[in-house]
């Protein structure tokens, strides 16, 4: 990767008008560039390169002798900064005009606008963090539930990297022994004990497999568990959503302005985001004309982690219900009988509870037994999974690379079983190492880095 | 004003997801509260009250032994902070979830959510800035053109305050002399020389009047000059707007993402915002049915600072044109003949230029002579006005208070002319002082302060 030594600048805080905004400047010339536009409160320049790191300075940003803003600047000296380079953060008044003006004068003084993710890319290139940690920074910024936050935080603190690095060190050890054999090829010496290698490959597979499997859960915990609520019209689907939302709202939000409210069909229960998928149309299964709509609904059901099948206790018989459920044919189903307030206890017990006790009986309207649904969802998808396992995979790139690593290891294992020669074994081990190295960023290509950091916001 | 000693907390940067966000904590207990949730990178607490002011500390925000985010905190010790109180600024990852979580744990540790403008209110109450300066902070944050930026900056640096304070000191001097006379009432002594007072009142009026008059210009420079473009359909109004916009775009915006582009009818020319007002409908002046629409148009024309009357050189005779213009009856008019590319030079000269040379002849489509319009607008409304006059009034509150001051002074003057007794003169001077003191905030009421600071954003 070509390492650009330019000094880069970008707005680091969210765009828009606010009390303050922060502009970040990073690179070898960061202090000199800032120097040329910054004066202390008396209008005297301040030699920033002579100041101590981690200090705040009050003063003014000026250009061509005209004042732009009263600011506080933060000094971070290389390597003690996020990027590992000299860095200045300018905290200015949060007017969009002022933000642009300051960025403009810094550009005029020699900085250039940062590309998306370029600050974090530099942090990676300066070995302040490895690739999964860099990726976790983006995840952390995007995190919007306790689960996604916790997953990103674990990854940023090196959860994934440590595991992968241990695997890598062990493989490198054996790879180097086998490579050594190749140098002494004609002498037919085995430096690498084959049964030790077989043992190692087996151990690695045993450790890698659960991590690969953790992706399925990690992915939905990070992005929200897709839940399909299925049921005829007017069984009370949106009333249930409101009831679930109300229950959580009361717990979650003493701070005004939680954004979640705007997204109707997403509910965070005990820190986990559940995405409720609209599946209107299930009623027309017998209607040929609308079969396209129905097949779409079944597509959605297929992609859901859980299907909530909701029915009206007044409108259906237990036999019809059991029939409908068996037709659905899904892995994880939660059957919910609504409108129990319309039947008296004896009727309800006689008609349903005695016959199908495992169903959750609720009144969405009267908010009865709603917590049973949220409890059940929380049992299925809980942040405890993250707390119990230090390595839960959430990144599709890591998932793919680990699968490839596993396949390569499988080939190494097969090779060992069939007494493959050292050079062929070495090729398979190298292949495993390549994929494992791609995860931590020991092995990178420009394309890979561009692909990763392009997804960042500008300013990070 | 009841001075609340609570420690307040709010997000100081714009809401939304970004690289970083800054949370501000201010009050006597700011350090203790932050202490209870902040540890250094090794998990040890850091006694923030023992740290030096204006220092940055790297560490973690935690709650109940679980990590929330890796942060940089800035320490400002009273009185060396924006508010004049102990202040901590926490720079965290810009996830909305993390922002809320950190604010939440600070609230749990004893802070309370800040009200709109409460940080600046505290700065005012702690005498870090006076009322016009506090108001200028809000103006600065809202500033969106060079003109509004410059006006706010001048006011924040004390432009208005200094002038007003000088007036006030002079008046106080005389008021105290007259009050002294009242104490010696029975002895009929004149401490305050009446002709000196008359001179002073005259001088003050001479200084106050131009400042009052400056409001009209200051107000539109701050909020945008309303320009009505009047003309029949298809004379090329929107082509002209695009042409003006294009011309400025090329000069103004090497930075991506200028917000201005989104607002179709506002154009910043040489740092001044012009708001173009839609006046479709002028064609129907003779049509009785649509007379309501027309009267609305004339209302808009009335509120415009400048009217651009645009016509198509192909569609109208000079006599008709002169007739139309005289009917408009507006103060500031710019007559623009469009589509000169449709006539050859000889025809145009013969038909119009020779007869009405003061008109601007353009081709909006071919971008000919567009700069003549922007030049003319810039001649009428230029930021030079701000540079030349240190006190340009932009605040309606100051304007009203100064008018009342002037009226009170007028009464003092009349009183002096009719040899009014000291106690009555004193009452009028006190009245003038009251209004002048309201401007700088020497005299405030809770209502006034609430009114001013309510308009701020939360976090400032």
Lowest mean pLDDT among A12-26, B185-199, B439-453: B185-199
CB nearest to B19's CB, from A12, A20, A148: A12
Looking at residue B58, what DSSP letter applies? E
Instruction: Measure CB to CB from residue B17 to each of A11, A18, A142 and give the nearest one.
Output: A142
- Looking at the complex, report in whole angstroms how far the Cα of residue B164 sits from the nearest Cα belonging to chain A: 23
Cβ of A55 and B55 within 8 Å? Answer: yes
Q: State which residues of chain A have pLDDT below 50.
A: 1, 250-264, 281, 284
> What pLDDT is stored for residue B128 in this prediction?
95
Indicate if B314 and B410 belong to the same structural domain. yes
Distances (CA, A) of B172 to B192, B197, B400: 12, 11, 21
| Mean per-residue pLDDT of chain B | 87
A56 chain-B contacts, CB cut-off 8 A = 54-56, 74, 76
- Which of A76, A100, A128 represents a domain boundary (last residue)? A128
For residue A59, report the phi and psi dihedrals to the nearest 5 degrees: 175, -155
Dihedral, CA of residue B246, residue B251, residue B252 and residue B253, to nearest 10: 80
Interatomic CA distance for residues B39 and B63, integer angstroms: 10
Would residue B456 count as lying in a domain? Answer: no
Q: In sequence order, what E strands does B172-288 have?
A: 225-230, 266-269, 272-277
pTM: 0.85
Residue A269 has phi, psi (to 5 degrees) of: -115, 120
Angle between helix axes B194-223 and B159-183 (nearest 10 degrees) is 150
- CB pairs A-B closer than 8 Å: 181
**Separation in Å, CA B163 to CA A133, B211, B440:** 56, 10, 10
Residues B313 and B231 in one domain: yes
Residues in chain B with CB shorter than 8 Å from the CB of A259 are 96
Is residue A452 one of the residues assigned to a domain? no
Residue B411 belongs to a domain: yes
From B33, B123, B114, select the one nearest B85 (Cα to Cα): B123
What span, in angstroms and rounded, lies between the C-alpha atoms of B414 and B104? Answer: 61
Instruction: Find the CB nearest B20 among A13, A57, A458.
Output: A13
Looking at the fold, whether B40 and B152 belong to one and the same domain comes out as no
Of B406 and B159, the structure prediction assigns the larger pLDDT to B406
The verdict on a CB contact (< 8 Å) between A457 and B17 is yes
Q: What is the side-by-side order of every strand in the sheet holding B360-361?
A: B266-269, B272-277, B225-230, B306-312, B333-338, B360-361
Question: How many distinct structural domains can be found in chain B?
Answer: 2
Do A256 and B113 count as a contact with CB atoms less than 8 A apart? Answer: yes
- Calpha distance A120→A161 (Å, rounded): 17
Question: In a mutagenesis test of the A interface, which of B9, B13, B19 is the best target, namely the one with the most A β-carbons within 10 Å?
Answer: B19
Both tokens of B433, joined, read 């002082």
**Hey, what's the torsion of the CAs at A195, A201, A203, A208, to 10 degrees?**
180
Which of B12, B13, B69, B79 is the mutation pick for testing A, counting most A CBs within 10 A? B13
Count of CB atoms situated within 10 Å of the CB of A17? 19
Strands A66-76 and A55-63: antiparallel
**Complex-level ipTM:** 0.85
Please tell me the distance in Å from B385's CA to the nearest CA on chain A.
15
Facing residue for A95 by CB, picked from B21, B140, B255: B140
Q: What is the pLDDT of residue B252?
A: 39
- All residues of chain A having their beta carbon less than 8 Å from the beta carbon of residue B95 are 140-144, 149
Ordered alpha helix ranges (H), B80-192: 96-108, 118-125, 131-142, 146-156, 159-183
Which of helix, strand or coil describes residue A440? helix
Residue A455 covered by a domain? no
Specify whether B434 is located in the same domain as B323. Answer: yes
CATH number at residue B367: 3.40.50.300
| Residue of chain A whose alpha carbon sits nearest to that of B19 | A460
Smallest CA-to-CA distance from B113 within B99, B131, B92, B95 is with: B99
Q: Which of B56, B51, B58, B57 is nearest to B77 (CA)?
A: B51
Nearest to B13 among A20, A72, A74 (CB): A20
B71 to chain A: nearest residue by CA?
A82
- Helix A396-417 with A194-223: angle, nearest 10 deg: 160
B17 in a structural domain: yes
Check residue A110 and give its pLDDT. 96
Same domain, A260 and A287: yes
Q: What angle do CA A383, B35, B62 make, to 5 degrees?
A: 10
Shortest alpha-carbon distance between residue B79 and chain A (Å): 14
- Based on the fold, state whether residues B119 and B135 are members of the same structural domain: no
Residues B349 and B253 grouped into a single domain: yes
Q: What is the pLDDT of residue A228?
A: 87
Of B67, B119, B141, the CB nearest to A17: B141
- What is the per-residue pLDDT across B85-96, written as a single tens digit (0 to 9) for each? 999 999 999 999
C-alpha B164/C-alpha B391 separation (Å) is: 10
B105 and B136 assigned to the same domain:
no
Q: Is A447 within a domain?
A: no
A137 and A86: one domain? no
Cβ neighbours of B22 in A, within 8 Å: 13, 20, 22, 91
Q: Chain A contacts of B151, Cβ < 8 Å?
A: none
| pLDDT tens for each residue of B238-297 | 788 888 877 665 443 334 333 333 334 788 898 999 988 766 545 545 555 556 666 766
Q: Domain holding A19: CATH number?
A: 3.30.1360.120
| Chain B partners within 8 Å of A103 (Cβ) | 255
Query: B258 to chain A: which residues are within 8 Å by CB?
Result: 100
Structure tokens at A151: 């997953």
pLDDT at position A71 is: 97
CA distance A249 to chain B (A): 14
Report yes or no on B247 lying in a domain. yes
My answer on whether B177 and B80 are in the same domain is no
> Is A36 inside any structural domain?
yes
CA distance B43 to B47: 13
Report the distance separating Cα A217 and Cα A274, nearest Å. 13
Show residues of chain A in contact with B104, CB under 8 Å.
Answer: 254-255
Domain boundary among A81, A111, A128: A128
Q: A254: which chain B residues are within 8 Å (Cβ-Cβ)? A: 104, 107
* Residues 6 or more apart in contact with residue B388 via CB below 8 angstroms: none
> CA B212, B213, B216, B217 torsion: positive or negative?
negative
CA B317 to chain centre: 44
- Residues of B whose CB is below 8 A from A54: 55-58
Lowest mean pLDDT among A166-180, A343-357, B115-129, B219-233: A343-357
CA distance A422 to chain B (A): 46
- The two tokens of residue A122 are 């530099």
Residue B442's CB: how many other CB atoms inside 10 A? 16
Task: Output phi, psi for A139, to 5 deg.
Answer: -65, -40
Residue with tokens 């600048």: A9
- Pair B177, B268 in one domain: yes
Pair B294, B325 in one domain? yes
Q: Write out the residue range of the structural domain in which residue B299 sits.
A: 131-440
């Amino acid at each position: 990767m070509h390492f650009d030594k330019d000094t880069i600048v970008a707005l680091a805080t969210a765009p828009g008008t606010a009390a303050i905004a922060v502009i970040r400047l990073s690179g070898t010339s960061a202090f000199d560039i800032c120097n040329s536009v910054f004066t202390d409160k008396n209008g005297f320049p301040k030699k920033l390169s002579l100041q101590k790191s981690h200090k705040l300075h009050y003063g003014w940003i000026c250009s061509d002798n005209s004042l732009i803003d009263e600011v506080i600047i933060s000094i971070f000296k290389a390597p003690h900064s996020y990027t590992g380079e000299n860095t200045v953060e300018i905290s200015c008044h949060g007017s969009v005009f002022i933000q642009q003006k300051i960025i403009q004068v810094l550009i005029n003084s020699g900085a250039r606008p940062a590309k998306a993710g370029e600050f974090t890319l530099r942090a990676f290139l300066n070995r302040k963090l490895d690739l999964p940690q860099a990726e976790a920074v983006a995840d952390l910024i995007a995190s919007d539930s306790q689960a996604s936050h916790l997953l990103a935080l674990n990854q940023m603190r090196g959860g994934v990297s440590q595991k992968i690095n241990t695997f890598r060190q062990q493989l490198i050890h054996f790879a180097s022994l086998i490579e050594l054999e190749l140098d002494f090829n004609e002498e037919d010496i085995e430096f690498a004990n084959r049964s030790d290698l077989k043992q190692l490959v087996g151990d690695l597979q045993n450790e890698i497999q659960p991590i690969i499997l953790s992706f399925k859960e990690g992915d939905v915990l990070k992005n929200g568990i897709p839940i399909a609520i299925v049921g005829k019209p007017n069984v009370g689907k949106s009333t249930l959503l409101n009831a679930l939302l109300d229950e959580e709202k009361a717990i979650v939000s003493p701070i005004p302005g939680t954004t979640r409210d705007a997204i109707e069909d997403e509910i965070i229960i005990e820190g986990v985001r559940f995405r409720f998928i609209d599946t209107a149309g299930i009623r027309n299964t017998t209607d040929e004309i609308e079969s396209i709509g129905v097949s779409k609904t079944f597509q959605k059901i297929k992609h859901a982690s859980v299907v909530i099948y909701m029915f009206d206790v007044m409108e259906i018989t237990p036999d019809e219900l059991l029939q409908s459920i068996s037709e659905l044919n899904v892995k994880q189903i939660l059957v919910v009988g609504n409108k129990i307030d319309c039947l008296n206890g004896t009727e309800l017990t006689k008609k349903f509870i005695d016959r199908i006790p495992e169903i959750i009986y609720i009144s969405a309207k009267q908010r009865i037994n709603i917590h049973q649904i949220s409890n059940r969802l929380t049992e299925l998808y809980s942040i405890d999974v993250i707390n119990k396992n230090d390595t839960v995979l959430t990144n599709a790139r890591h998932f793919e690379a680990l699968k490839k690593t596993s396949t390569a290891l499988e080939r190494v294992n097969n090779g060992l079983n069939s007494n493959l020669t050292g050079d062929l074994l070495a090729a398979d081990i190298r292949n495993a190492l390549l994929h494992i190295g791609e995860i931590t960023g020991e092995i990178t290509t420009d394309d890979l880095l561009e692909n990763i950091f392009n997804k960042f916001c500008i300013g990070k």
